[in-house]
Amino acid sequence: MQSFREAIEDRVLVCDGAMGTMLYAKGVFINKSFDALNVAQPDLVAEVHQEYVRAGADIIETNTFGANRIKLGSFGLADKLHAINEQGAKIARHAADDRAYVAGAIGPLGIRIEPWGKTGVDEAREYFREQAQALLDGGVDLFILETFRDLNEIGAAIDAVRSISDLPIVAQMTTEEDGNTLDGTPPERFAPELEKRGATIVGVNCAVGPAPMLDTIERIAAVTPLKLSAQPNAGKPRDVEGRNIYLCSPEYMASYARRFILHNVRVVGGCCGTTPDHIRQIKTAVRSLAPGLVRGASRAEPPAESGGAKAGGVSRATVSAAIASPPIAREHKSRLAHAMAKGTFVVAVELLPPRGYRADDVIERARQLKIQGVDAVNIPDGLRGGARVSALSLAVLIEQQAGIETLLHYSCRDRNLLGIQSDLLGAHAMGLRNLMLITGDPGRVGDYPDATAVFDVDSIGLTNVVSRLNRGCDVGGQAIGAPTGFHIGVSVNPAASNLDQELRRFEYKVEAGAEFIVTRPIFDVAAFERFLTRIEFARLPVVAGLFPFESARNAEFMANEVPGVRVPDAMLERMRRAEGAETAAREGIAIAREIAASLRSAVQGVQIATASGDIDAALAVLDGLR
């Protein structure tokens, strides 16, 4: 056989179709590790490969899409990573039998990497490198990196492969029907970037059917001279008696294969829902094209109507300009931001979103806080005690009806990256400016123990998202018009059990664009003062959290059941000695006042929260500062 590089210069190559679809049809449950079948049921995997080879596939992909350390680890199989990948390559090599090229399939890690997640690019690169090395040891001819949504992550994968091999790389992103990746990156940006990173062939796979994928291919062909790849799903799945059935016929898929080829596609195949029957028809369509047409289309100009403008895209120049948009000056973002920029001491008081939809009582308390000179109302996000007004909605109502600024806690939990952007743009459009960005707590608590949590990014990634919006672009690098003017606050816990890790995460938040700090409740003043010396490098305003105990039981709960809170024994003893509910509440206020007075010259503000949302207790603490 020719080398893959020679073959791709000479003709269009047909890739195989779905592996998961075929294994599922053969009785493998979807809750199993399909990759582990390479060692558990190698004959079954080989059978699928052979069916695709008999159908005419020129390239078969190894059954290793999810065989990285992270995904295998979820099945307790991380220690078998090398064996699963190497065996996957060997099974495919034997099935190919010199009739097809073997592509080492590598998919995403299944976790977010920087700047959206806590996993570093260097760590991701190492995860990809060990998988690629095992595939290389198994004897692959090329690598196919597929179904990536994050340009940073696929860049790490390309770097990893290039660090150990110069074999060809087919780098494929997965896109929505508008042509942009699931994170919003347009083809006009990701295709040139993949070319720059060292991909041999760039393209798209999965998520959409042939028709929308053709639009995306046309846009890619307009911005890169590289040969392209296209592996669409067999249309959208339809639920039929509990099973996802893909309805695109083999003939329909084949008709689009011909159109792909006219736009410089040199690797064409299928993803979810495609079978050997689809590949057989695609192979027939490829053979039917005149050789001169196939070879002559290597850099054909796309039709006038097929460029980025028609498909809703933006040019590379537009993307670059978006990232370079000048941000709004901090002192112009909000009254709270202006006060902090001037060095004014600020006070925020926490108000909890109410159960149900009626917010009149909370809004009235916010009015009282404004009258008493409080600078902002702090609204926590993600309370799980039943059905409540969302923090974002309550913040809008308070600002509109009470006339006081809010500091909106915004949590990553239960939101994906695109939903986060939509929320934040909507919040900005309705006038919200001050944000405290948090990851949110996991776990099954509250009134609905079966409710699950979603974490697409963490607070570091969230800070990067807001910083990009403040520079006039979204996470995909597309211009959003005028930049947002969010005042970015981040949380830090001075009493974290692993303080070095907490500080490392804090440094990442500062690099991402944090503008002020809000701490967890402070009870140990001496320890907090030592902590302040460790964050002096950031030169950011610090707002210290204060929490007046309501009772001895409340104090014991904070000390023993709230993660990341440290209450000195002497303080607990003071609360235990206070007899009666009123006496204990007064003692809790007195302790909070003492802490506030001790911190007054060391911080630029305080945030007062109470267990029951009692503003009288919060104002009593504030009176001590005055």
Asked whether residue 84 is assigned to any structural domain, the reply reads yes
Please tell me the predicted confidence (pLDDT) of residue 452: 40
The residue among 25, 310, 368, 339 whose CA lies nearest residue 188 is 310
What pLDDT shows up at residue 475? 85
User: Average of pLDDT values for 154-180?
Assistant: 96
- When pLDDT is averaged across residues 552-578 and rounded to a whole number, the result is 89
Q: Is the pLDDT of residue 461 over 50?
A: yes
**What pLDDT does 331 receive?**
94
> Which helix (H) or strand (E) element contains residue 14?
strand 13-14
Q: Left if phi > 0, otherwise alpha if psi is -120 to 50, otherwise beta: which for 477?
A: left
Same domain, 296 and 256: yes
Could you give the C-alpha distances from 426 to 271, 393, 422, 432, in angstroms and in order? 35, 10, 6, 9
Q: Computed from CA positions of residues 389, 392, 396, 399, in that sequence, does the dihedral angle turn out positive or negative?
A: positive
Place of tokens 């003692």: 587
Q: What is the pLDDT of residues 567-622, one digit of tens each?
A: 999 999 999 999 899 999 999 999 999 999 999 999 999 999 998 888 999 999 99
The fraction of the chain above a pLDDT of 90, given in percent, is 70
Does residue 541 sit in helix, strand or coil? coil
Query: Distances in Å between the alpha carbon of 600 and those of 92, 132, 592?
Result: 68, 56, 12
Give the β-pairing of 434-438 and 487-492. Answer: parallel
Work out the pLDDT band at 16, boundaries 50, 70, 90. Answer: very high
Mean pLDDT, to the nearest integer, of 239-251?
66
The pLDDT of residue 460 is above 90: no
Least confident segment among 163-177, 226-240, 445-459, 556-570:
445-459
Quick check: 189 pLDDT over 60? yes
Classify residue 322: in a domain, yes or no.
no
pLDDT at 448 over 60: no
Q: Residue 342 pLDDT more than 70?
A: yes
In a domain, 29, yes or no: yes
In a domain, 366, yes or no: yes
Tell me what pLDDT residue 243 has.
Answer: 54
Q: Is the model's pLDDT at 407 over the cut of 90?
A: yes
pLDDT at 1 over 90: no
Amino acid at 184: G
The answer to the question of residue 123 being in a domain is yes
Contact 490, 506 (CB under 8 A): yes
CA–CA separation, 175 and 244 (whole Å):
20
Place of tokens 């290389």: 136
pLDDT of 247 reads 67
**pTM score:** 0.74
Higher pLDDT, 538 or 237: 538
Of 453, 477, 455, 454, nearest to 464 (Cα)?
Answer: 477
- The answer to whether residue 321 sits within a structural domain is no
Structure tokens at 119: 């996993």
User: Are 231 and 204 found together in one domain?
Assistant: yes
**pLDDT for 43:** 96
Give Rg (Cα) of the chain. 29
CB 410 within 8 A of CB 381: yes
Assigned domain for 324 exists: no
Report if residue 318 sits inside a domain: no
Number of domains in the chain: 2
240 vs 262, more confident: 262
Q: Which residues contact 502 (CB under 8 A, 6 or more apart)?
A: 492, 493, 496
Of 285, 313, 341, the domain-final residue: 313
Residue 232, SS3 per DSSP: coil
d(CA 42, CA 36): 9
* 292 and 396 inside one domain: no
Look at residues 225, 226, 272, 377 and name the one whose alpha carbon lies nearest to residue 18: 272
Residues 545, 514 share a domain: yes
CA 157 to chain centre: 17
Query: 178, 312 in Cβ contact below 8 A?
Result: yes
Tens digits of per-residue pLDDT, 272-317? 889 999 999 999 999 887 444 444 343 333 333 333 333 333 333 3
pLDDT for 562 equals 79
Beta-strand runs (E) in 77-158:
101-106, 142-148
Task: Print the domain residue range for 28.
Answer: 4-313
User: Of residues 204 and 449, which shows the higher confidence score?
Assistant: 204
**Average per-residue pLDDT in the chain?**
88
Confidence of residue 45 (pLDDT cuts 50, 70, 90): very high
Regarding whether 416 and 339 lie in a shared domain, the answer is: yes
Render 395-449 in DSSP notation, one character per residue: HHHHHHHH--EEEEEEE-TTB-HHHHHHHHHHHHHTT--EEEEE----SS-SS-T
pLDDT at 382: 63
pLDDT for the residue numbered 246? 64
Residue 350 shares a structural domain with residue 472: yes
- CATH number of 299's domain: 3.20.20.330
Q: Specify whether 270 is located in the same domain as 409.
A: no
Among residues 313, 347, 376, which one ends one of the domains? 313
Q: Which of 278, 313, 348 finishes a domain? A: 313
Same domain for 307 and 335:
no
Mean pLDDT, to the nearest integer, of 363-383? 92
Weakest-pLDDT range from 171-180, 196-205, 212-221, 287-296: 287-296
Q: Tokens 């992550």 sit at which residue?
A: 153
Both 396 and 286 in one domain: the answer is: no
Q: Is the pLDDT of residue 322 over 90?
A: no
Instruction: Answer for the pair 60, 49: CB distance below 8 angstroms, yes or no.
Output: yes
Proportion of the chain above pLDDT 70, given as a percent: 89
pLDDT at residue 386, rounded to an integer: 66
Same domain, 18 and 82: yes
> Of the candidates 266, 256, 252, which has an alpha carbon nearest to the alpha carbon of residue 294?
266
Is the model's pLDDT at 225 over the cut of 70? Answer: yes
The pLDDT-based confidence of 244 (bands split at 50, 70, 90) is low
Here the CATH number for the domain that contains residue 553 is 3.20.20.220
Q: Are strands 542-546 and 516-521 parallel, antiparallel or unpaired?
A: parallel
**Which of 22-51 are b and which e, b meaning 16 or more Cβ less than 10 Å from the residue's Cβ?**
bbbeeebeeeebbbbbbbeebebbbebbbb
User: What span, in angstroms and rounded, lies between the C-alpha atoms of 554 and 615?
Assistant: 17
Question: What's the mean pLDDT in 106-110?
Answer: 96
Q: Does residue 364 share a domain with residue 299?
A: no
284 & 382 share domain: no
Per-residue pLDDT at 6 exceeds 80: yes
For residue 301, the model assigns a pLDDT of 37
